[in-house]
Amino acid sequence: MRALLVVNPQATATSAAGRDVLAHALASDVQLEIVETSYRGHAADAAARAVADGIDLVVAHGGDGTVNEVVNGLLAKCPDPVDTPALGVVPGGSANVFARALGLPRDPVEATHRLLVAIESGSRRQVGLGLVEPADSDSRWFTFNAGLGWDADVVAEVERRRDKTASPLLYASIALANYVKQMLTATDLLVELPDGTREKTRLAFVSNTDPWTYLGAKPIHMNPDCSFDGGLGLFALRSLAPPTIARTLSQILLPLGPPSGGNLLRLDDVDEVRVTAERPVRLQVDGDDLGEHRQVKFTSVPKALRVAV
């Protein structure tokens, strides 16, 4: 088997020593090439070349941004999972949402062992993905979530503070600081469902799995029935007033059942969602800021990717 190891040396939990241990372990089972990323989009470029070169497995060692780039590189020219290299993931970031949603260990050494077992046994899991298609730019695959509005503004601010570790405290403090601005100035969004239903909301959040989290080990349950084996989950709020936010946070952080409420639009297993904004709003995909857009379509793509797990 031929494999490519894509390492982001800037990721929070990666190190030269850890990379060497991972590379040595993989090289005992596969014919291995290694790429260390040095620019935005490098992981995607490396994965796309792996497809062209007939590589069997591409291993992403970094955070969710590295995983997302690798996935987009793998599927850029060859969206058929049968002809696409399988994906392997060894967590190396601060959140590692996708890896944790797959049930992989957070510890890179333990995750490497799991990957080696999958390689030796040939174990592969087909997972569904989401596809984001802004009307004014290229499409982008996402593995665990995407959103328009408040959460995307938080992601953009976290990216701006690249000198700081993207810790749960940083996410929470930025979200809190941004809340008053959102409550007063958030742009109305028009959410359109496949059956033609249209709803006005203040934010729109689309999940590809549940739970997920940026808050350390604390799971966030927005769409409990959403999984890699079904359609997308929609979670949209019609109001950002304090009572609505307080109720919503309590429900997703201390789940006693599916979130509910008069200001909540929540659906599971959705094939497609279209969102139109009165003026450009920020979009995030897998925790990556994609700038501002007015029209975005989110589509569920079943069994889009094979993962060694």
Mean pLDDT calculated for residue range 141-151: 94
- Give the integer Cα–Cα distance in Å for 206 and 244: 19
Q: How confident is the model at residue 211 (pLDDT cuts 50, 70, 90)?
A: confident
Q: Could you give the dihedral angle defined by the CA atoms of residues 90, 93, 96 and 98, in that order, rounded to the nearest 10 degrees?
A: -60
Looking at the predicted structure, is the pLDDT value of residue 43 above 90? yes
CA distance 218 to 220: 7
Tokens matching residue 69: 């780039």
For the ranges 17-21, 166-170, 299-303, the lowest mean pLDDT is seen at 166-170
In the chain, which residues fall in CATH 2.60.200.40? 131-149+186-302
The pLDDT of residue 202: 93
Residue whose C-alpha is closest to residue 64's, from 99, 14, 88? 99
- Whether 67 shows a pLDDT value over 80: the answer reads yes
Identify the CATH homologous superfamily for domain 2-122: Probable inorganic polyphosphate/atp-NAD kinase; domain 1 (3.40.50.10330)
Mean pLDDT, range 288-293, rounded to an integer: 95
What pLDDT score was predicted for residue 204?
95
Average pLDDT over residues 194-203: 94
In the chain, where does the domain assigned CATH 3.40.50.10330 lie? 2-122
Q: How far apart are CA 91 and CA 66, in angstroms?
A: 10
Q: What is the pLDDT of residues 109-138, one digit of tens each?
A: 999 999 999 999 999 999 999 999 999 999
Q: What are phi and psi of 76, to 5 degrees?
A: -65, -45
CATH 3.40.50.300 for the 131-149+186-302 domain, yes or no: no
The answer to whether 4 touches 27, Cβ cutoff 8 Å, is no
pLDDT of residue 214: 66
φ/ψ of residue 61, rounded to 5? -120, 100
Residues 6 or more apart from 82 whose CB is under 8 A from it? none
Token match 């006005």: residue?
200
Least confident interval from 98-102, 172-176, 236-240: 172-176
**pLDDT reported for residue 177:** 83
Closest residue by Cα to residue 287 from 166, 175, 155, 172: 155
Give yes or no for a cis peptide into 85 (omega within 30° of 0): no
Output 236 or 155, whichever has higher pLDDT: 236
pLDDT of residue 94: 80
Judged against a pLDDT cut of 60, whether residue 5 lies above it is answered with yes
pLDDT above 90 (res 199): yes
Of the candidates 76, 123, 70, 79, the one whose C-alpha atom is nearest the C-alpha of residue 98 is 70
> Is 80 exceeded by the pLDDT of residue 218?
no
Report how far residue 274's alpha carbon sits from residue 282's, in angstroms, rounded to the nearest whole number: 15
Please state at what angle helix 16-27 crosses helix 108-121, rounded to 10 degrees: 20
Q: What is the mean pLDDT of residues 29-54?
A: 96
Cα 111 from chain centroid?
A: 19
% of residues, the chain, pLDDT over 70: 95
In a 3-state reduction of DSSP, which class is residue 263?
A: coil
Q: What is the pTM of this model?
A: 0.92
